[in-house]
């Protein structure tokens, strides 16, 4: 009886997390994030799937020779087995040409850039705007036990994401 209960609970968890993805593109990106998350963990941190934000855009697509890009914000929680989380931004490209080869299998979406952008006690972003080679993230930042709205810009160049510091 215990084996069936465990399988049932695992199955419900697995399918309920896919229910958050609305389209086939969303499910494909979420699958890529699930593969990426274990590489970023310290062994205790886990992907918070309900916090994944996906923005599709054609901005920068020509620059990197892609059909379109997906800008993804995702949150990893429980670093150090505590209440310590980090938010990441990943950029995926959708290839213009589908290449097939006997030796290689190409994914529909490929990771093109990754950077940490925020954390639990510092800042957390909820909105993405892309314009040419600049990505603007909007959210909240903790300042002296209070929160204020914040916009942070990131410049995107092939394989490189840089935060633009405003002086």
Give residue 72's pLDDT.
Answer: 95
Residue 57 belongs to a domain: yes
Q: Is the pLDDT of residue 46 over 60?
A: yes
Look at residue 80 and give its three-state secondary structure: helix
Q: Does residue 157 belong to any structural domain of this protein?
A: yes
pLDDT of residue 108: 81
Say whether pLDDT at 105 is over 60. Answer: no
Residue 63 lies in a domain: yes
Q: Identify the three-state secondary structure at position 58.
A: coil
Determine how many CB atoms are found less than 10 A away from the CB of residue 133. Answer: 13
Q: With CA atoms as reference, report the closest residue to 118 among 79, 162, 85, 150.
A: 85
Average pLDDT over residues 146-166: 84
In a domain, 18, yes or no: no
Which range marks the domain in which residue 86 is found?
A: 24-164
| Domain contains 2 | no
Nearest CA-CA partner of 159 in 111, 126, 127, 117: 111
Q: How many domains does the chain contain in total?
A: 1
- The pLDDT of residue 45 is 84
Residue 159 inside a domain? The answer is: yes
Q: Can you tell me the mean pLDDT for 5-17? A: 34
Q: Is residue 8's pLDDT more than 70? A: no
- Domain-located, residue 1: no
Residue with more model confidence, 112 or 15: 112
The answer, yes or no, to whether residue 29 has pLDDT greater than 90, is: yes
């Amino acid at each position: 009886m215990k084996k069936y209960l465990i399988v049932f609970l695992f199955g419900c968890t697995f399918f309920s997390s896919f229910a958050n993805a609305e389209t086939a593109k969303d499910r494909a990106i979420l699958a890529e994030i699930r593969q990426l998350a274990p590489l970023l963990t310290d062994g205790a941190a886990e992907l918070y799937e309900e916090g994944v934000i996906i923005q599709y855009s054609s901005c920068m697509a020509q620059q990197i020779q892609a059909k379109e890009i997906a800008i993804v914000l995702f949150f990893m929680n429980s670093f150090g087995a505590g209440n310590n989380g980090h938010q990441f931004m990943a950029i995926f490209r959708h290839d213009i040409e589908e290449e097939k080869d006997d030796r290689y299998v190409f994914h529909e979406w490929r990771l093109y850039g990754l950077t940490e952008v925020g954390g639990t006690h510092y800042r957390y972003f909820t909105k993405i705007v892309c314009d040419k080679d600049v990505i603007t993230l909007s959210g909240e930042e903790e300042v002296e036990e209070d929160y204020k709205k914040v916009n942070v810009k990131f410049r995107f160049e092939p394989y490189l994401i840089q935060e633009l510091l405003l002086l």
